């Protein structure tokens, strides 16, 4: 009787499928999704935070997975998310900085050509560099013929020559000691498909007393794609000297403060004394 009872007792076994089952880590899924989304970091600095979030969530998912025994499912997803996020967190800023560097280099070469024409008394060529490629005439020996009296082109050139910065550089260019050098990059930004680059340049010259002096001009250059030609075009959209370069703003403020103090001292010195 006891033998039959022993034979009838169910064995203490575990279903193989249940032993192999391991829950999926939700954090690993989120890490994988963020890793894919972190590719957007190449679009601009505002999206670098996505890649940073992907790195943090991926590491947290990896830790959570190994807190269980056996570990949760999702290690591969967490590793993929971590790899993509790290790649984009490094690649996004690197791509952004390299692109800005190349844009600034291109803009600087174009701006120096613009200044070179002004210094060598070729304002008509400099004027053409302030026009887009669609409106620009060839910079050849026949260019002056594009500016007949009373024409629209002639009026545009005269308006261009009315700018004080342009007039000053042309006048100072008569002295071969006058030099224009790149000073600093002031900014790079986008407006629709148009890329704008602002740069400051130092103009060094000698005054009537043979004293070396320097003033600064800021140039804004536009770059837009010529889709039909598969190339890009640069042109000078503005030149001004109203504001100092960002790197010298603190010096200007100190100079303005010193001037105010000087004017204040002068005013006090000119006040009549009580005895008078």
Same-domain pairing of 65 and 180: no
3-state secondary structure of 137: coil
Same-domain pairing of 26 and 117: no
Model pLDDT for residues 241-266, shown as the tens digit of each residue: 887 788 787 776 776 676 677 777 77
Question: According to the model, what pLDDT value does residue 263 have?
Answer: 74
Question: According to the model, what pLDDT value does residue 1 have?
Answer: 47
Helix (H) or strand (E) holding 58: helix 48-65
Same-domain pairing of 21 and 135: no
Kindly state whether residue 275 falls inside one of the protein's structural domains.
no
Alpha-carbon distance of 221 to 196, in angstroms, equals: 6
As for how many domains the chain has, the answer is: 2
Report the candidate in 234, 243, 167 with the shortest Cα–Cα distance to residue 200: 243
Mean pLDDT of 149-158: 93
Kindly state whether residue 124 falls inside one of the protein's structural domains.
yes
User: pLDDT grade, residue 229 (50/70/90)?
Assistant: low
Model pLDDT for residues 31-79, shown as the tens digit of each residue: 999 999 999 999 989 999 999 999 999 999 999 988 888 888 889 999 9
Q: Which domain holds residue 59?
A: 13-99
Last residue in a domain, options 66, 99, 132: 99
Same-domain pairing of 179 and 138: yes
Kindly state whether residue 70 falls inside one of the protein's structural domains.
yes
Residue pair 145/255 in contact by the 8 Å Cβ criterion: no
Return the bridge partners of 205, or none: 213
Return the bridge partners of 226, or none: 231
- Does residue 98 carry a pLDDT above 60? yes
Same-domain pairing of 30 and 55: yes
Same-domain pairing of 220 and 139: yes
Kindly state whether residue 6 falls inside one of the protein's structural domains.
no
Kindly state whether residue 31 falls inside one of the protein's structural domains.
yes
Mean pLDDT of 113-139: 93
Same-domain pairing of 146 and 237: yes
Same-domain pairing of 113 and 182: yes
Kindly state whether residue 211 falls inside one of the protein's structural domains.
yes
Last residue in a domain, options 30, 64, 99: 99
Kindly state whether residue 3 falls inside one of the protein's structural domains.
no
Same-domain pairing of 116 and 185: yes
Same-domain pairing of 142 and 37: no
Same-domain pairing of 126 and 172: yes
Last residue in a domain, options 45, 76, 99: 99
Model pLDDT for residues 183-222, shown as the tens digit of each residue: 999 999 998 888 999 999 999 999 999 999 999 999 999 9
Kindly state whether residue 147 falls inside one of the protein's structural domains.
yes
Same-domain pairing of 184 and 260: yes
For residue 155, what is the domain's CATH number?
3.10.450
Q: Would you give the DSSP letter of residue 271? A: S
């Amino acid at each position: 009787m006891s033998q039959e009872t022993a034979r009838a007792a169910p064995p203490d076994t575990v279903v193989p499928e249940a032993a192999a089952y391991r829950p999926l880590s939700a954090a690993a899924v989120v890490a994988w999704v963020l890793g894919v989304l972190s590719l957007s970091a190449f679009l601009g600095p505002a999206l670098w935070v996505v890649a940073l979030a992907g790195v943090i969530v991926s590491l947290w998912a990896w830790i959570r997975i190994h807190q269980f025994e056996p570990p949760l499912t999702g290690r591969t997803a967490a590793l993929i998310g971590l790899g993509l996020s790290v790649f984009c967190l490094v690649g996004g800023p690197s791509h952004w900085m390299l692109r800005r560097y190349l844009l600034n280099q291109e803009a600087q070469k174009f701006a120096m050509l613009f200044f070179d024409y002004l210094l060598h008394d070729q304002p008509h060529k400099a004027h053409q560099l302030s026009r887009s490629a669609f409106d620009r005439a060839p910079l050849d020996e026949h260019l002056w013929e594009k500016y007949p009296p009373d024409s629209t082109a002639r009026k545009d050139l005269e308006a261009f020559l009315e700018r004080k910065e342009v007039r000053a550089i042309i006048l100072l260019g008569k002295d071969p000691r006058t030099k224009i050098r790149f000073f600093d990059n002031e900014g790079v930004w986008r407006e629709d498909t148009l890329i704008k680059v602002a740069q400051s340049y130092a103009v060094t010259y000698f005054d009537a007393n043979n004293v070396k002096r320097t003033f600064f001009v800021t140039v804004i250059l536009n770059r837009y794609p010529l889709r039909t030609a598969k190339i890009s075009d640069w042109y000078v959209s503005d030149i001004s000297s109203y504001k100092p370069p960002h790197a010298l703003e603190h010096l200007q403020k100190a100079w303005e403060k010193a001037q105010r103090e000087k004017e204040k001292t002068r005013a006090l010195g000119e006040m009549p004394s009580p005895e008078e």
